[in-house]
Every structure is written in C-alpha cells, then in structure tokens.
C-alpha cells in the first residue's frame, strides 16, 4: 500500500511529483532483471504495434515457390507449408496477443476497481452482495465460460477480448477491495470525511491512488494471463479465424511439424515465452519496490 501525501521541503513548499518518480525509478532500477524485462516488453509492444509496417511480407500471402524454406536472409524465420513468411506471421500474431492481453486487462481493471472500491469502502450489505457475486463468478470455470462466449459471439478479436475479461475481473476486484479496506482507516480519509467530502470523491481522489501499488503488480501478472487464455482458445480451435495469424495457432501448427521443420515451432514458442517471462520479471520488480515501501513504513 502506498500512501500518497505531499512532502514538504526546507522552504515549506510541497516537493514536485517528479521527485517521487525519481525515487521509484531508483529503487526499481536496482533490480536488473526487472529493468531487462521492462526493456524487452517495450521492444515487444512496439514491434507488435508497428507489425503492419515492419513485417517484411504480407503474413497471409502464399508463395508456393518457397514452401518450407529454412531460415535465411530472405526469410529470417523460414516459411510455412504455404510459403508464408514466419517472421511476419509471428509479428502480426503477437499484435493480436497484445491486443487481447492489454484490452482485456483494461476491461477487468475498470470493472474490478469499480466493484472492489464500492464493496471495500461501503462495506456491510453492499460488500456482502458484491462479494457473493464475485464468489459466484470465481467459482464458474473461467475457460469453459470463455469458450461459451466465443461460440456465441464469434471468432473475432473483440469477442475473444470480452470472453477473456468476463471472468478474470474477479481477481482484480478482490485486490482492490482488500486495499480499499486498509486505506479507508487512514487519518487523511477521516479528515476528508470531516471536511464533508463525498464517499465517491474520497474513493477516487484519495483511496484508489493510494492503492495503486498492488493494483499495478496485479496488472503486470494479469496481462500475460490474458495472453495465455487467448492462446488456449486457439488450441481448442476457437481463436481468431484464419487467415489472420495467431500465436496459439502458430504454435499448434508448428507442433505438428516440429521434427521435420523445428523452426516453425521454435519461433512462436520463443517469442511467446520471452513475452511471458518479461512480464513476470517486471511484476516481481514492482512487487519488490512496493513491498519494501510497506515494510519500511511498518518499522
């Protein structure tokens, strides 16, 4: 839990916000693995965003003159059974994975903060009702529910995003509720109540900003979980409809030819694994920073 209060300098004026950012970066940069994970993620996200520009070939265009070409200067990661460039297909597939990962996280972050903040702050009957709803959704098999939604909504990016976010928001709601229940006992919240501030203003202006540490950590682990869920839907044949590339579909296709053409499997697997590991390293680094702040305040 991070308590956001203005710090007073020697002149009696509040220190600029940039000072807090510098201190955060100083602590975070001590974890070299976390910094490396952040750097790799920046490269991955930029590459995925600009995949339509930097992809050397059309990822859906067949070239029967270069079927199953080994990796070369012409095709860095080789070509598949239809002569399609694997590097281009991986880049576009990575864009779809990032779109689902980040997009679903935005949806679940919005719902989770709304439900968790209301339940944690108001408590009582409201808390019991909302948490029972969370328990019901949490108890339902999330992957099965995602499959049902994709079957009903169709095999498109928007439907998959909604299907992934439909059940994953409950974890965020629990995290937010826990943090809100801690922060609402703070003195500055009681002071705001005494000054006549509304509960909604207190929650949005003071409690949520002071709960962002654990929320950010949860986000860094939630995005790769969404990407894995999207890949899992592709495994069961409910991913993005061909010919649009999808990392899960590329991995399944490469697995069937792994002994004859191992590069078809290694390319998407390595990219996917590096992405997930980078998120894990970033999340561990953020957790170390915020946990160290909490431990120091507890002394």
% of the chain residues with pLDDT over 70: 91
pLDDT at 8 over 50: no
Determine the pLDDT at residue 292: 55
Other Cβ atoms less than 10 A from the Cβ of 202: the count is 20
> Who has greater pLDDT, 92 or 11?
92
- Choose the most confident range, by mean pLDDT, from 13-17, 24-28, 178-182, 270-274: 270-274
Instruction: Please check the confidence at residue 123 and state whether its pLDDT lies above 90.
Output: no
Give the length of the chain.
Answer: 299
| 297 CB-contact burial (10 Å; exposed 0-12 / middle 13-18 / buried 19+) | exposed
Is the predicted pLDDT of residue 294 greater than 80, yes or no?
no
CA atoms within 13 A on the CB side of 126: 11
Task: Quickly state the pLDDT bin for 179 (edges 50, 70, 90).
Answer: confident
Measured distance CA(144)–CA(148) in Å, rounded? 6
Q: Tell whether the model's pLDDT for residue 144 goes beyond 50.
A: yes
Gyration radius of the chain's alpha carbons:
23
Write down the pLDDT at residue 11. Answer: 39
Torsion, Cα 22 28 32 38, to 10 degrees, reads -90
Q: CA 250, 253, 255, 257 torsion: positive or negative?
A: negative
Q: Residues of the chain with pLDDT > 90: what percent?
A: 45
Q: Residue 141 — left, alpha, or beta (φ > 0 → left; ψ -120 to 50 → alpha)?
A: beta
Token output for 196: 């006549």
Lowest pLDDT segment from 90-94, 179-183, 197-201, 203-207: 197-201
Cα 133 from Cα 156, distance rounded (Å): 28
* Residue 10 preceded by cis peptide, ω within 30: no
Digit-coded pLDDT (tens) for 32-87:
999 999 999 999 999 999 998 999 999 988 988 889 999 999 999 999 989 999 99
pTM for the structure as a whole: 0.83
Least confident of 85-89, 179-183, 215-219: 179-183
155 Cβ contact partners less than 8 Å away, ≥ 6 residues apart: 238, 239, 240, 241
CB atoms within 10 A of CB 33: 14
C-alpha dist (Å) from residue 132 to 119, 129, 141, 167, 227: 11, 5, 16, 14, 27
pLDDT (tens digit, 9 = 90+) per residue, 15-24? 455 677 788 8
Start-to-end Cα distance in the chain = 14
Q: What is the rounded CA–CA span in Å between residue 183 and residue 211?
A: 7
Mean pLDDT of all residues in 184-195: 75
Q: Which residues lie closer than 8 Å to 131 by C-beta, 6 or more apart?
A: 119, 177
Q: What is the pLDDT of residues 227-283, one digit of tens each?
A: 999 998 988 888 888 888 889 889 988 988 888 899 999 999 999 999 999 999 999
- Residue 17's pLDDT is 52
The candidate with the shortest Cα–Cα distance to 129, out of 110, 142, 115, 112, is 115
Q: HEC profile for 32-72?
A: HHHHHHHHHHHHHHHHHHCHHHHCCCCCCCCCHHHCCCCCC
**Mean pLDDT on 196-219:** 82
Q: How much is the average pLDDT of 213-224?
A: 91
Residue 15: the pLDDT is 47
pLDDT given for residue 21 in this prediction: 78
Where are the extended beta strands (E) located within 61-195?
Answer: none
Q: What is the predicted pLDDT for the residue at 239?
A: 85
pLDDT for position 39: 96
Domain 32-56+68-298 indexed as CATH 1.10.10.10: no
CA distances from 197 to 13, 57, 115, 179, 192 (A): 24, 58, 21, 20, 6
Query: For residue 298, what pLDDT is reported?
Result: 41
Q: What is the mean pLDDT of residues 127-133?
A: 92
């Amino acid at each position: 839990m991070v308590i956001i209060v203005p710090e007073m300098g020697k002149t009696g004026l509040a220190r600029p916000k940039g000072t807090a950012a510098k201190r955060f970066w100083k602590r975070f940069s001590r974890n070299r693995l976390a910094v490396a994970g952040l750097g790799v993620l920046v490269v991955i996200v930029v590459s995925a965003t600009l995949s339509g520009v930097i992809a050397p070939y059309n990822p859906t265009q067949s070239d029967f003159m270069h079927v199953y070409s080994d990796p070369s200067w012409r095709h860095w990661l080789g070509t598949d059974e239809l002569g399609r460039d694997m590097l281009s297909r991986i880049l576009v597939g990575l864009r779809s994975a990032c779109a689902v990962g980040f997009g679903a996280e935005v949806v679940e972050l919005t719902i989770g903060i709304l439900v968790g903040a209301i339940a944690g702050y108001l408590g009582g009957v409201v808390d019991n009702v909302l948490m029972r709803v969370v328990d019901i959704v949490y108890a339902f098999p999330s992957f099965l529910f995602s499959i049902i939604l994709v079957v009903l909504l169709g095999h498109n990016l928007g439907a998959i995003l909604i299907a992934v976010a439909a059940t994953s928001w409950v974890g965020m709601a629990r995290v937010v509720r826990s943090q809100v229940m801690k922060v609402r006992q703070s003195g500055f919240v009681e002071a705001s109540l005494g000054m006549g501030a509304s509960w909604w203003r207190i929650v949005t202006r003071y409690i949520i900003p002071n709960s962002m540490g654990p929320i950010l950590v949860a986000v860094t682990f939630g995005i790769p979980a969404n990407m894995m869920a999207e890949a899992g839907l592709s495994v069961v044949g409910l991913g993005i409809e061909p010919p649009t590339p999808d990392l899960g579909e590329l991995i399944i296709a490469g697995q069937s030819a792994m002994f004859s053409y191992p590069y078809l499997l290694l390319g998407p697997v390595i990219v996917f694994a590096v992405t997930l590991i980078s998120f894990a390293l970033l999340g561990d680094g953020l957790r170390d920073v915020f946990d160290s702040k909490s431990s120091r305040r507890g002394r």
